[in-house]
Chains A and B, each alone.
Chain A
Amino acid sequence: MRIVVLSGKGGTGKSCVVSSLALEISKRRKLVLVDGDADCPNQHIIFPGRDVRKEKLYVSKIAVVNYRKCNLCRKCLEACQFGALKAEKGIKVDELRCEGCGACVLACPPGAVKLVPKLTGGMFVRETKNFSLVYGKLIPGESGSGKIVHELKKKGDEIARERGAELVLVDAPAGIGCPVIAAVAGCDYAIGVLEPTPAGMKNLERALEMVEYFKIPYCIVMNKVGISRENERKAVRRFGRKIAARIPYDEEIPQLLAEGIPPVLGKREAARSFRKLAEKMESLLF
């Protein structure tokens, strides 16, 4: 079973919920955690351990011009839809803009342009005390974060099969664009983390619209309960029974997270609510 945790807006508490869920559920079941945020991965900071596998990922492609064959006809410039080619002393490829679609290759009459695989990032498998963690690192600024997330999920499934784990937990990045779609696609269940603020609600709604497009069932966890009573009421009106759990706002949580400790290990009320959340999720899903 694959579960994804997402929120739309950033900083609502995805990694916080995921790390706590993973720790709690791993006491009773085998699981694999996949950090789907390849731009800014955070789970490997929370869970120390040894990286047992490292792989370089060449998932995206880039156009390369052979200057010996190029006759400067500029047909490739017309064909490129992304403005990635420029004519200055020969044809130059803007690495940050090139999507690797291959339109220029098809357009070039002398066949001077080629697509070559490009190093996009790395993939790591880590053995922590309680479970295996799969995470990736995108080379900053590269395109292809969606493709990396796809690879990470494939790896997560493979490890789950090897170890006989029944659950793959995916931590989605912020936003609703291509890396998030890659994290959500193919999952069996989604958990939306809601922050009771106007921006938090609006953006979760957009994220769930995308989840609904993929016809994935979901529930909502309301985080930081207590920062705005009015918005909590609005959220209940808007999402109703989809809200499966509430986690109170407690200043202990940011303090623990600042040191990279999952909040479920805290001593106050919020830690207890995380334990309850894990139990509820298990009873809901298994």
Chain B
Amino acid sequence: MIIGVTGGKGGTGKTVVAVNLAVAIAKTGRGVTYLDCDADCPSAHIVMGAKRRMKKKVTSFIPYFNSGKCKKCGKCVKVCELNALYHLLGKIPTLLEPICNGCRACVLACPHNAIREKEKTVGWTYKTEKYGVELFSAELKPSEPLSEKIVDAIKIRGLGEGRGEIFIIDTSAGAHCQVVRALEGCNRAIAVTEPTLFGIHDLEVIESVLRKLRIRYDLIVNRSTISKRRVKHALMQIPYDKKMIECYVDGVPIVERYPENPISKDFFKLAEKMVR
């Protein structure tokens, strides 16, 4: 089973919920594989206090011009939808490397076969293990815009190499293409929100994404006591607790440090429910 954890707004506690749930499931004896699909800001390894190992490069195609064959016709420049190529009259086209998304339209457009393959590094994937949870982590190279490519790479690596019965996918904030990529193929999802006007507004956005993808989802309300507002039909309400912040800052999941805390007990109950 693949469980996606998402939420729309940033900082609502997606990663904390996903990590605690993963560790709680691991304690029931099931194999858990955690895929941190927040390539922009990977933080599951920080919340778990794990060191990432087994680095692998993720690359993307960029064009390389063969100066002998290039007739400077400018056809490749015209077809580039992202305007990553430009050329001055009578010169070989120049590539603005960070803009290129590797679509290869320029290769198809070139009548002289003058474009060769080159690669650029867009990010990395890692693997590690802690508290019985197998963790795969993705990382985007800063200044590269291709987050969704890294998400694809980590999903291929994690779902292929992962040995768990249960996969937990942690998405990034927002509701654009990389969140959709991360959620694709999930059997069910958990939307983490907070009882603020922003949290609830952004929850509606992510709910419509989940409905579009036809994924069954449950709600978890984090910091439920900071406002009088109540979110209905939530699977779990996590009250505001200084211990949560302390665990977050120290990089230890709360279910590991304070297994007797009511929040941890709720996580164990939730784990039982998910496993069943």
Contact = CB atoms under 8 A, between A and B. Distances in A.
Partners in one complex: yes
Contacts of B227: 255, 258-259
A10 B11 contact: yes
B12 interface: yes
Contacts of B15: 199
**SS class of chain B's interface: helix, strand, loop or mixed?**
loop
10 contacts: A9-B11, A39-B174, A100-B81, A143-B176, A173-B174, A174-B173, A175-B173, A178-B146, A202-B41, A206-B142
Interface in A72-113: 79, 81-82, 96, 99-103, 106-107
A227 interface: yes
B79 A102 contact: yes
Interface in B63-110: 79, 81-82, 98, 101-105, 108-109
A211 B12 CA distance: 25
Q: Which of A145, A231, A251 has the most CB of B within 10 A?
A: A145
A100 B83 CA distance: 13
Interface string B1-41: 00000001111100100000000000000000000001111
B109 A40 contact: no
A138 B143 contact: no
B9 A11 contact: yes
A8 B223 contact: no
The 9 A-B residue pairs with the shortest CB-CB distance, nearest first, are A11-B11, A10-B10, A175-B40, A101-B103, A178-B145, A174-B10, A177-B147, A39-B174, A199-B43
Interface string A224-240: 00011011000000000
B128 interface: no
B43 A203 contact: yes
B142 A40 contact: no
Given A10-B11, A10-B173, A103-B105, A141 B209 contact: yes
A11 B249 contact: no
B114 interface: no
A12 B9 CA distance: 11
A147 B223 CA distance: 34
Contact of B176 (A82, A145, A202): A145
A199 B227 CA distance: 25
Interface in B194-243: 194-198, 201-202, 205-206, 208-209, 212-213, 223, 226-227, 229
B142 A39 contact: no
